[in-house]
A and B are shown apart, each in its own frame.
Chain A
Amino acid sequence: MTAPLTPEEAAAARFPGARRPDRQRFVSSQGLRLAVSEWGDATAPAILLAHGGFDFAGTFDVFAPILAGAGYRVVSWDQRGHGDSEHAELYSWDADVRDMLAVLDSIRADPLILIGHSKGGAISTHLIQAAPDRVRAFVNLDGIPSHRPPPDVADHERTRLLAKELSGWLDHREQAGSKVRRPDTIDGLARRRQRMNPRLSLEWLRYLATVGARKDPDGWRWKIDPALRPGGFGPWRATWSMTRFASLPVPLLGVLATESEPMGWDTRPEEVQPYLPPGARVMALPAVGHFVHIEQPQRIADLVFEFLGDLS
């Protein structure tokens, strides 16, 4: 933040139970600067938290302190292009997993406990499969892929649909290098974000804006790289991730949301069941949306503690 806060903005920067990281540092992933946050005793057993797409480590500002309070060193990082990490030239799944390994290398506490939300859960799954010796337990928060086939549309329509997606994506790519986010007030950013996060309170979203946005002379802007865009396309099939899930070599706790919302994955427990590794535990939480750890931080933390307690 460059400009001083108004009293309203300073009030927005306070949220019950939220605590900014105890330590912040940077890690270089092949020359790209990643912002790393830590809460709790630096010598305690480590938990690495992976945030979802279009989020940032600050979205753990309530959840992480609860974990830290139970005697853990909790580490998270802003994925490339997100939060306080550098905006990259390219973004991909492989790059995110490699960045994650760079963060893991900097913690020097292998094997550690991994908790990933949404896309963070999905890249964690990939990391564990590529580097199984680095992780000793895995909690996946509503980031288990769905097996569901795409909507049944006629071939001709599907072609037209693809054409529109493709040209839209290419048009976005053309502008992406020069795009600047629209400035707004803290309240304006919070209200815009609420369209994607309809179950989260404005009070929380205003708090998030004070962390995930910066104050420029003409207003607040989300720090996230404007080149990033939800959706997209590519050859990847959810089915592939789904079937690979069965090979996970570490104890797994999966938490599924049951309330449908725009950013949610809508994965149902009966879809997941046939693909669970031996001994895995997956639970669907009633009346909770995609952001399980934000809606019910204490409850999720308790589930994590119970899971970890059963392992020891």
Chain B
Amino acid sequence: MRSAERTGPRPVERLHHSKVELALHTLRAGEGRALLLLHGLGERTPAAAPAELLSWPGPICGLDFTGHGQSTIPRGGGYTCEILMGDADTALRHLKQATLVGRGLGAYVALLLAGARPAEVRGAILRDGLGLAGGGPTPGTPQVPFPNPSASGTPDPFALAELSRDVRPPDYATAFLRQANELSGLDRPVSVCCAERPDWLAAVAKEPGALETHVGEALRLYASVR
């Protein structure tokens, strides 16, 4: 079924993750398990469901991470990918179950959540996008990021500064993949559909639970699992 034409503003749910208010957008209503979009670093949920995802049979939703899109901006930064995993978990609780599709930073967060909530995440599709590499596998030179203080609105400059330098060791990433593989009951809980291969993703792609495929194939696979 194609996306229904929409004349008014699309529905937005306001969810609470600790002291932050998150915006969960319904890009296409529907029955069954939702496809949850997790955007890349500095991005926001797109205005319409991307064409490559329209073959998904159920509803399509998108979450704005903390400090992005229509979600609230915290004072003085403090971003970590683990906090963003908490953002995604907040949306997941609301949806009960979901298949995740993450771009860039959202792909890494999707992997983390697939490992943390293996029963509720029914497949995670990792796509290219901003913030896929993070700060590399080991820490860089110590610094204190002071982003542009006169910037206003989203994306929060602290998010851009802090989430582009968070360390992503390959064995940390694979611990989440292994957990998803062991506890989700899915043969291939994570699908890697990316051209860029930062170290963490190269390690994940080699694991038994990861499938290297195209996004259409991954959507078909996860639409068919219970």
Q: Is the CB of B18 within 8 A of A177?
A: yes
**B179 touches which of A89, A92, A162 (Cβ 8 Å):** A162
A-facing mask of B81-122, CB < 8 A → 1, else 0?
011011001100100000000000000000000011110000
Segment among A163-171, A203-211, A285-293 that sits at the interface with chain B: A163-171
Q: Which chain B residue shows the least CB distance to A91?
A: B78
Assess whether B226 is interfacial by the CB under 8 Å rule. no
Interface-centre pick from B83, B144, B162, B166 (highest chain A CB count, 10 A): B144
Q: Is the CB of A173 within 8 A of B162?
A: no
Assess whether A99 is interfacial by the CB under 8 Å rule. yes
Complex-state Cα separation, A119 to B167, whole angstroms: 19
Complex-state Cα separation, A166 to B120, whole angstroms: 14
Assess whether B19 is interfacial by the CB under 8 Å rule. yes
Contact residues, B172-198 vs A (CB, 8 A): 172, 175, 178-179, 182-183
Q: Is the CB of B78 within 8 A of A89?
A: yes
Contact A176 to B144, CB < 8 A, known contacts A30-B75, A94-B77: no
* A95 cross-chain contacts in B, Cβ below 8 A: 76-78
Q: Is the CB of A131 within 8 A of B77?
A: no
* B54 cross-chain contacts in A, Cβ below 8 A: none
Q: How large is the interface on B (under 10, 10 to 19, 20 to 34, 35 or more residues)?
A: 35 or more
B-facing mask of A84-101, CB < 8 A → 1, else 0?
001111111011011101
* B172 cross-chain contacts in A, Cβ below 8 A: 235
* A98 cross-chain contacts in B, Cβ below 8 A: 76-77, 144-146
Assess whether A192 is interfacial by the CB under 8 Å rule. no
Q: Is the CB of B76 within 8 A of A236?
A: no
* B145 cross-chain contacts in A, Cβ below 8 A: 94, 98
Interface of chain B, helix or strand or loop or mixed?
loop
Assess whether A80 is interfacial by the CB under 8 Å rule. yes
Interface-centre pick from B82, B117, B145, B168 (highest chain A CB count, 10 A): B82
* B57 cross-chain contacts in A, Cβ below 8 A: none
**A234 touches which of B18, B82, B182 (Cβ 8 Å):** B82
Q: Is the CB of A90 within 8 A of B138?
A: no
* A162 cross-chain contacts in B, Cβ below 8 A: 115, 175, 179
CB distance from A225 to the nearest CB of B (A): 9
**A90 touches which of B83, B85, B149 (Cβ 8 Å):** B83
Complex-state Cα separation, A162 to B173, whole angstroms: 12
The total of Cβ contacts below 8 Å across the A-B interface reads 124
Q: Is the CB of A240 within 8 A of B149?
A: no
Complex-state Cα separation, A232 to B178, whole angstroms: 19
Assess whether A126 is interfacial by the CB under 8 Å rule. yes
**A99 touches which of B19, B76, B83, B169 (Cβ 8 Å):** B76
* A88 cross-chain contacts in B, Cβ below 8 A: 19, 74-76, 78
Contact residues, A116-147 vs B (CB, 8 A): 126-127, 129-131
CB distance from A110 to the nearest CB of B (A): 15
* A130 cross-chain contacts in B, Cβ below 8 A: 142-144
* B115 cross-chain contacts in A, Cβ below 8 A: 162-163, 166
Q: Is the CB of B89 within 8 A of A170?
A: yes
Inter-chain pairs besides A127-B144, A244-B139, 4 sampled, C-beta below 8 Å: A32-B75, A131-B144, A163-B179, A173-B86
27 contacts between A and B (CB under 8 A): A29-B76, A32-B76, A88-B75, A89-B74, A90-B79, A91-B78, A92-B83, A99-B76, A126-B142, A130-B143, A159-B175, A159-B183, A162-B115, A162-B175, A163-B116, A163-B183, A166-B179, A169-B82, A170-B89, A170-B117, A177-B16, A177-B17, A235-B167, A235-B169, A240-B138, A240-B139, A244-B142
Which 9 pairs of residues, A with B, have the shortest CB-CB distance? A90-B78, A89-B74, A95-B78, A30-B76, A129-B142, A166-B116, A92-B78, A31-B75, A173-B86
Which B residues form the contact surface with A (CB < 8 A)? 16-20, 66, 72, 74-80, 82-83, 85-86, 89-90, 93, 115-118, 138-139, 142-146, 149, 158, 162, 166-169, 172, 175, 178-179, 182-183
